[in-house]
Amino acid sequence: MSRRRSIMSEQFKEELAKELGFYDKVKQHGWGEITANEAGSMVKRAVQMAEESLRNRDKT
């Protein structure tokens, strides 16, 4: 089975994990150890950031 390419870069995921407070867990145990709730929080925050970026882009 081939691996799917991630939509988010590794750096962006790490930044989100740091912001949301579980980067230490990722660093120690890898991405496979985050909870579904933590993964959902990452997606939610990424969507919020994208929406903010679009709003700011439309203002100019």
Structure token digits, residue 22: 């579980």
**Per-residue pLDDT at 19 exceeds 70:** yes
Neighbour tally for 13: CB within 10 Å: 19
Sign of CA dihedral 10, 41, 25, 35: negative
**Structural domain boundaries, residue 36:** 10-59
Express each pLDDT in 22-52 by its tens digit.
999 999 999 999 999 999 999 999 999 999 9
- Count of domains in the chain? 1
Express each pLDDT in 4-14 by its tens digit.
677 889 999 99
**19 falls within a domain:** yes
**1 falls within a domain:** no
pTM beyond cutoff 0.75: yes
Cβ pair 38, 20 in contact under 8 A: yes
Cβ pair 46, 17 in contact under 8 A: no
